[in-house]
């Protein structure tokens, strides 16, 4: 029986997508929670005098540095360093990637700080909100028009955020930081013709002076960073670079092979997995009122996905562009 190359391509794309989204949903959150628990167990927050924000910033600094190193190794091994050099040579691309580097730092810090303060579920909520926020940004920035189902999706998300604000007594800033930084990251990244790995390398170049400056400040003025003072933490921080770069490769492979609606559906594996880790491994409890916030967002997500299915049935689906590569 002849082999269907199209079916094979979609099957391979699905495997790559599940690998990428599963990694972002489970493996990386487990790495973050494991690091947090190890640092807390070592007494870094008491004897070391560091706050959880100090630790989150240290984590993000090392993630940026070691991600850049991983990208250099990958591109050099594939003999594609020219892609990064071309981006650095373009003033427009270089500037835009500087902006996305700051947005990515904000996204990473919100995610890690949420986990470090037992609010990983808040970061998960942000990733549920993000696709709906991206639709709203398309209207506000790009002048796109919303279809009725999209209006419903965005309205339900807004109700969910309003409910969470009322429940907490303040804006759910971790959720909004994760959602807005991620949404704006995607908006700016779409303006740059760059592969995921080459773009991440240039973003790492932008982050390097900030990161090295911050680590020098911590060494000289304290509280002392934990890197180099515990081999398990140090090893996991180094591995966080490869753990950031690897799923980007899988996602890029999936995006070339799968239609938009499939990727839109599969990407919700990520916040679902994060919510599962928050409850089981990070020992966060979700009250009925907290679940109500998620319920409004989930209804918005359902409307969002239903709209995509209706539209893509009316015309041939393009393969997906970049929808998630910031985590």
Encode pLDDT of 197-220 as tens digits.
Answer: 999 999 999 999 999 999 999 989
Average pLDDT score, the chain: 86
Q: Judge whether 243 and 71 are in contact, CB under 8 Å.
A: no
Question: Which helix H or strand E contains 89, and what residues bound it?
Answer: helix 81-89
Burial grade of 29 (CB within 10 A; 0-12, 13-18, 19 or more): buried
Cα–Cα dist 72/219, whole Å: 27
Mean local confidence (pLDDT), 268-279: 92
- Crossing angle of the two packed helices 28-41 and 91-116, in degrees rounded to 10: 60
pTM: 0.85
User: Binning pLDDT at 50, 70 and 90, where does residue 315 land?
Assistant: low
Judged by DSSP in three states, 147 sits in coil
Question: Which pLDDT belongs to residue 65?
Answer: 94
- The three-class DSSP label of residue 143 is coil
Between CA 98 and CA 88 the distance in angstroms is: 10
Buried b or exposed e, range 141-172, using 16+ CB within 10 angstroms? eeeeebeebbbbbbbbbbbbbebbbeeeeeeb
Question: 80-84, 168-172, 208-212, 238-242 — which is least confidently predicted?
Answer: 168-172
pLDDT at 30 over 80: yes
Residue 275 clears pLDDT 80, i.e. is over it: yes
Indicate whether 322 pLDDT > 80: no
**pLDDT tens figures, 107-126:** 999 999 999 999 999 999 98
Q: How confident is the model at residue 316 (pLDDT cuts 50, 70, 90)?
A: low
């Amino acid at each position: 029986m002849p082999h269907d190359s199209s079916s094979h391509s979609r099957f391979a794309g699905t495997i790559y997508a599940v690998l990428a989204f599963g990694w972002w949903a489970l493996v990386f959150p487990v790495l973050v929670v494991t690091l947090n628990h190890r640092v807390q167990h070592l007494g870094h927050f008491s004897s070391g005098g560091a706050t959880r924000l100090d630790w989150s910033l240290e984590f993000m600094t090392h993630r940026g540095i070691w991600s850049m190193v991983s990208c250099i190794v990958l591109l050099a091994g594939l003999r594609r360093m020219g892609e990064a050099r071309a981006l650095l040579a373009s003033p427009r691309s270089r500037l835009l990637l500087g902006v996305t580097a700051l947005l990515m730092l904000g996204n990473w810090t919100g995610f890690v700080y949420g986990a470090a303060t037992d609010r990983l579920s808040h970061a998960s909520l942000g990733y549920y909100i993000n696709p709906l926020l991206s639709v709203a940004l398309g209207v506000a920035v790009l002048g796109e028009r919303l279809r009725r189902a999209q209006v419903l999706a965005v309205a339900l998300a807004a109700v969910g955020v309003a409910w969470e604000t009322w429940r907490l007594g303040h804006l759910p800033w971790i959720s909004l930081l994760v959602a807005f930084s991620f949404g704006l990251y995607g908006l700016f990244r779409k303006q740059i013709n760059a592969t995921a790995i080459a773009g991440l390398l240039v973003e790492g170049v932008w982050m390097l002076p900030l990161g090295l400056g911050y680590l020098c400040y911590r060494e000289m003025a304290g509280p002392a960073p934990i890197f180099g003072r515990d081999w398990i933490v140090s090893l996991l921080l180094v591995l966080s670079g490869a753990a950031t770069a690897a799923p980007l490769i899988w996602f890029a492979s999936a995006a070339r092979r799968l239609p938009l609606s499939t990727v839109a559906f599969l990407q919700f594996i990520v916040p679902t997995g994060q919510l599962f880790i928050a409850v089981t491994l990070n020992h966060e409890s979700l009250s009925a009122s907290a679940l109500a916030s998620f319920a409004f967002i989930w209804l918005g997500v359902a409307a969002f996905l239903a709209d995509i299915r209706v539209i893509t049935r009316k015309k041939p689906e393009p393969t997906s562009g970049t929808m998630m590569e910031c985590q």
